[in-house]
């Protein structure tokens, strides 16, 4: 299976393809001005997952629409994080974890035998709940870490990618005087999370998964991340797990509500446009959760 983007490094590629004459990706007028499609960037079909013998989610089917923000909401323990980790096979880092079902990216099932999970995660990036920059690396080295693992990038190209990614993450102006010297750990919590977003953007993913990215941040830092998400959706597909109903209503166009009931297995209860779900949900359980009757 070939999931390679046009900018991916190939040892036999031309210098331009290796990034030596890297074209700017931001802004990309063709992408940003193209009509927004209702086609799914990711399509999840009958997805179930286990941790050892315990089933965590069952039979989840939903689209993650291209260049939209989809919020995944639900009470703790309903399988939200498990579900999005299954989208780029991050759940597999947990011993004994497994999944069944189909997750389609670019017409291919990401669970096919010929898919390299490490390569897959370049195309479906992840931003975690707690900012996790490499603490002893400089800001610059944090951003280009993934590209250096690929190999084939010269210094000029790495500089261009790092600056572009930091600008996309609305961080460059705050760190431009120290980005080659200051470590990721020296930044504030909100800056660290934007650094992690820049690191994800540097490898040019098709989809960005965010697992409660603002839960450890103050309101000002949260506002900046939400603004950033609204800017990024012009070029990227985003799925965000959040416990914050106000955040889901502010940033997302589509919402999926998950719930684990007596058997403690997470299931998708309702999926639809956020504006409709938050004003006229089709399932009473969705209404009860959104209005704070439980959870």
HEC states along 14-74?
CCCCCCCCCCCCCCCHHHHHCCCCCCEEEEEEEEEEEECCEEEEEEEEEEEECCCEEEEEC
pLDDT of amino acid 94: 95
pLDDT of amino acid 151: 83
pLDDT of amino acid 260: 97
Decide if 210 contacts 180 (C-beta within 8 A). Answer: no
Model-level pTM?
0.86
Dist CA 127 CA 129 (whole Å): 7
pLDDT of amino acid 36: 60
pLDDT of amino acid 34: 54
| For the chain, domain boundaries | 38-290
For residues 141, 147, 148, 150, the Cα torsion angle rounded to the nearest 10 degrees is: 160
pLDDT of amino acid 39: 87
Domain 38-290 indexed as CATH 1.20.1260.10: no
pLDDT of amino acid 20: 32
Dist CA 119 CA 75 (whole Å): 32
pLDDT of amino acid 35: 57
Per-residue model confidence as pLDDT tens for the chain (295 residues)? 555 443 333 434 433 333 332 333 444 555 445 556 678 999 999 999 999 999 999 999 999 999 999 999 999 999 999 999 999 999 999 999 999 999 999 999 999 999 999 999 999 999 999 999 999 999 999 999 999 988 888 999 999 999 999 999 999 999 999 999 999 999 999 999 999 999 999 999 999 999 999 998 999 999 999 999 999 999 999 999 999 999 999 999 999 999 999 999 999 999 999 999 999 999 999 999 999 988 7
């Amino acid at each position: 299976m070939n999931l390679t983007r046009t900018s991916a490094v190939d040892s036999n590629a031309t210098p331009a393809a290796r990034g030596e004459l890297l074209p700017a990706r931001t802004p990309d007028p063709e992408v940003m001005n193209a009509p927004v499609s209702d086609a799914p960037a990711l399509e999840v079909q009958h997805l179930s997952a286990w941790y050892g013998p315990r089933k965590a989610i069952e039979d989840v089917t939903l689209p993650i629409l291209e260049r939209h923000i989809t919020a995944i909401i639900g009470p703790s323990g309903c399988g939200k994080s498990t579900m999005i980790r299954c989208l780029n096979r991050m759940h597999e880092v947990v011993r004994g974890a497994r999944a069944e079902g189909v997750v389609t990216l670019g017409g291919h099932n990401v669970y096919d035998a010929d898919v390299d999970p490490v390569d897959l995660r370049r195309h479906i990036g992840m931003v975690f709940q707690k900012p996790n920059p490499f603490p002893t690396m400089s800001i610059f080295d944090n951003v280009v870490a993934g590209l250096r693992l690929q190999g084939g990038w010269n210094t000029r190209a790495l500089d261009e990618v790092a600056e572009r990614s930091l600008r996309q993450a609305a961080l460059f102006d705050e760190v431009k005087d120290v980005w080659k010297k200051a470590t990721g750990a020296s930044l504030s919590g909100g800056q660290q999370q934007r650094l992690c977003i820049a690191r994800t953007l540097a490898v040019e993913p098709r989809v960005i998964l965010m697992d409660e990215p603002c839960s450890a941040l103050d309101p000002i830092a949260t506002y900046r991340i939400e603004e950033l998400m609204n800017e990024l959706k012009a070029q990227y597909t985003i799925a965000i797990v959040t416990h914050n109903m106000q955040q889901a209503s502010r940033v997302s166009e589509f919402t999926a509500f998950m719930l684990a009931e007596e058997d403690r297995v997470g299931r998708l209860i309702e999926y639809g446009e956020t504006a409709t779900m938050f004003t006229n949900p089709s399932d009473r359980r969705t209404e009860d959760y959104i209005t704070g009757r439980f959870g």
